[in-house]
């Protein structure tokens, strides 16, 4: 793969700077954004590109995240290629607009720098913000590293705007961990990105053909509403194939092949961890160490959370003996975190399925060290050996009891 890839530059920059760079290379028609920690440096960096004429994007300094998404919706319906970025409370304030963006089938791309939701107020990483928005009809991509955050941003444009998708995309990376740490990664040439994302021309818009006026956002009574929701379900389910098509096209350009998820040492594993975001890096390190001690452990790192690749996950995990699913957000009042609940559900109808345990970790930026991952693997090994029954209740790792 690397042989066919284009020439790239190796840079050392933060994940947020990488995302801003991707935005610069995409040079969207409109960006409407409101600053919030830890997303701030993306919109600041992009403002610099605007101020220096590096991009000619119309950059709207809105007065709130609600208006950010509202303006994005207006601009996207107008016919423009539109991007934004947010975190935590900002995403929560956009809530109402998220489902309007997807129901209008507007291909807005939003970098979401994951941060814990209040309260109490906290500025550090967990996934409660985007996980809270998981059912809003957006495609959700998760990045482990700055490289992936950069790459996903570029792919997100192509996925969102694809004629068979036309859905908004959220591209996530971990607040402060990925957003603010300087990482070494490869970046494409501006011209390659420009060519890859291509030109955007919507089928219908407010501005391109005003002589044949279209009405966006009508009032739908019960006779009409339900069919829209079905259409949305079909669109997001069907987007899985396009996500992979764009991902494969991107691999040809960059030499970096991604999937719906990454399987790490899963082939011959007895036990595995399912995780997403930056903790996958720590998990990989622990797996290597435990493999050296003879523990047959692997990892499934989820990249595409929406559409949830249930079938593929079931296939990848069904032959294992025990699986621990790690969520950096809790879904209080039910079985456990969303990744756990959905992974478990994905396997329910499999003839063969592993024992499964749910773990919540790292809420509000609590450090997640190798010891916590070792604990999970240790638990799973005990289940496999029959020393313990699979736990029904979710385990909160690293909390002070």
Partner 1 sequence: MATIKELSRKPELLTGGHRLCAGCGASIAVRQVLLGANDQVIAGSATGCLEVSTTPYPFSAWKIPFIHNAFENSAATMSGVEAAYQSLVRRGKIEKKMKFVAFGGDGGTYDIGLQSLSGAMERGHDMVYVCYDNGAYMNTGIQRSGSTPFGAATTTSPAGKVRPGKPQQRKDLTQIMAAHDIPYVAQASISHWKDLVKKAEKAFSVDGPAFINVMAPCPRGWRTPNEMTIEISKIAVQTGFWPLYEVEDGEWKLNFKPKELKPITDFLKPQGRFRHLFKPGNEHLLETAQAEIDKNWSRLKKRCGVE
Partner 2 sequence: MKWNIKDAEHWSWKKYPEGALILEGGNATYYKTGGWRTDKPAWDEKKCTQCLICWISCPDSSIIVKDEKWDSFDYDHCKGCGICAKVCPADAISMHPEGGEE
Of 231, 226, 233, 227, which is closest to residue 306 (Cα–Cα)? 233
- If the CB atoms of residues 195 and 229 are measured against partner 2, the closer one turns out to be 229
Cα–Cα distances in angstroms (integers) from residue 9 to residues 179, 249, 250, in the given order: 20, 19, 16
Cα–Cα distances in angstroms (integers) from residue 29 to residues 59, 190, 347, in the given order: 9, 16, 43
Is 231 a residue that touches partner 2 (CB under 8 A)?
Answer: yes
Q: Which of 11, 104, 310, 335 binds partner 2 (CB under 8 A)?
A: 104
CB of residue 235 vs partner 2: minimum separation in angstroms? 8
- If the CB atoms of residues 209 and 315 are measured against partner 2, the closer one turns out to be 209
- If the CB atoms of residues 118 and 231 are measured against partner 2, the closer one turns out to be 231
Is 166 a residue that touches partner 2 (CB under 8 A)?
Answer: yes
Residue 392's binding partner among partner 1, partner 2, none (Cβ under 5 to 8 angstroms by kind) is none
Cα–Cα distances in angstroms (integers) from residue 50 to residues 28, 30, 59, in the given order: 11, 11, 7
Is 109 a residue that touches partner 2 (CB under 8 A)?
Answer: no
**DSSP summary character for residue 284:** H
Cβ neighbors of 189 (< 8 A, separation 6 or more) are 6, 7, 8, 9
Q: Which helix (H) or strand (E) holds 158?
A: helix 146-161
Cβ neighbors of 365 (< 8 A, separation 6 or more) are 116, 122, 123, 124, 125, 126, 175, 176
Cα–Cα distances in angstroms (integers) from residue 77 to residues 63, 80, 121, 227, 275, in the given order: 20, 7, 34, 21, 36
Residue 76's binding partner among partner 2, partner 1, none (Cβ under 5 to 8 angstroms by kind) is partner 1
Q: Which of 1, 121, 191, 214 binds partner 2 (CB under 8 A)?
A: 214
Of 260, 376, 381, which is closest to residue 325 (Cα–Cα)? 376
Q: Which of 105, 140, 344, 366 binds partner 2 (CB under 8 A)?
A: 105
Is 235 a residue that touches partner 2 (CB under 8 A)?
Answer: yes
CB of residue 98 vs partner 1: minimum separation in angstroms? 11
- If the CB atoms of residues 39 and 70 are measured against partner 1, the closer one turns out to be 70
Torsion of the alpha carbons at 134, 128, 321 and 291, rounded to the nearest 10 = 120
Residue 103's binding partner among partner 2, partner 1, none (Cβ under 5 to 8 angstroms by kind) is partner 2
Residues 68-107: x/- map of binding to partner 1 (CB under 8 A)? Answer: --xxxxxxxxxxx-x-------------xx--x-------
Torsion of the alpha carbons at 385, 387, 392 and 393, rounded to the nearest 10 = -120
- If the CB atoms of residues 119 and 210 are measured against partner 2, the closer one turns out to be 210
Is 78 a residue that touches partner 2 (CB under 8 A)?
Answer: no
Residues linked to residue 174 through DSSP beta bridges, in sequence order: 114
Residues in contact with partner 2 by CB under 8 A are 103-106, 166, 203-204, 212-216, 218, 220, 223-224, 226-228, 230-231, 234-235
Residues in contact with partner 1 by CB under 8 A are 29-30, 32, 56-58, 60-64, 66-67, 70-80, 82, 96-97, 100, 206-208, 210, 213-221, 224
């Amino acid at each position: 793969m690397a042989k066919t890839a284009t020439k790239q530059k190796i840079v050392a920059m933060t994940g947020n700077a990488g995302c801003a760079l991707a935005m610069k290379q995409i040079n969207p028609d409109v960006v409407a954004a409101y600053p919030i920690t830890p997303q701030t440096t993306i919109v600041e960096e992009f403002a610099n590109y605007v101020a220096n004429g590096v991009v000619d994007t119309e950059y709207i300094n809105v007065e709130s995240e609600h208006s950010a998404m509202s303006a994005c919706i207006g601009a996207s319906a107008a016919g423009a290629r539109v991007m934004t970025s947010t975190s935590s409370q900002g995403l929560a304030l956009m809530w109402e607009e998220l489902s309007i963006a997807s129901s209008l089938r507007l291909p807005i791309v939003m970098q979401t720098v994951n941060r814990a939701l209040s309260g109490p107020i906290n500025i550090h990483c967990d996934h409660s913000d985007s996980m809270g928005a998981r059912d809003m009809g957006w495609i959700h991509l998760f990045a482990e590293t700055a490289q992936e955050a950069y790459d996903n941003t570029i792919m997100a444009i192509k996925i969102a705007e694809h004629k068979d998708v036309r859905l908004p995309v959220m591209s996530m990376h971990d607040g402060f961990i990925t957003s603010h740490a300087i990482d070494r990664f490869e970046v494409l040439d501006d011209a390659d990105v420009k060519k890859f994302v291509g030109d955007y021309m919507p089928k219908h818009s407010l501005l391109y053909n005003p002589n044949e006026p279209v009405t966006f956002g009508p009032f739908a009574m019960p006779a009409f509403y339900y069919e829209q929701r079905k259409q949305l379900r079909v669109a997001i389910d069907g987007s899985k194939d396009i996500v992979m098509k764009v991902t494969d096209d991107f691999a040809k350009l960059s030499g970096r092949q991604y999937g719906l998820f990454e399987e790490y040492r899963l082939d011959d594993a007895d036990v595995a961890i399912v995780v997403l975001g930056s903790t996958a890096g720590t998990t990989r390190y622990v797996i290597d160490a435990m493999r050296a001690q003879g523990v047959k452990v692997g990892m499934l790192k989820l990249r595409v959370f929406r559409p949830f690749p249930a079938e593929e996950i079931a296939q990848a995990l069904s032959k294992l003996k025990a699986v621990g699913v790690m969520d950096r957000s809790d879904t209080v009042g039910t079985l456990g975190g969303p990744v756990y609940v959905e992974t478990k559900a994905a396997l329910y109808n499999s003839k063969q399925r592993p024992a499964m345990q749910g773990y919540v970790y790292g809420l509000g930026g609590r450090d997640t060290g190798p010891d916590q991952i070792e604990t999970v693997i240790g638990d799973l090994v005990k289940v496999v050996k029959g020393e313990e029954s699979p736990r029904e209740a979710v385990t909160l790792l690293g909390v002070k009891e």
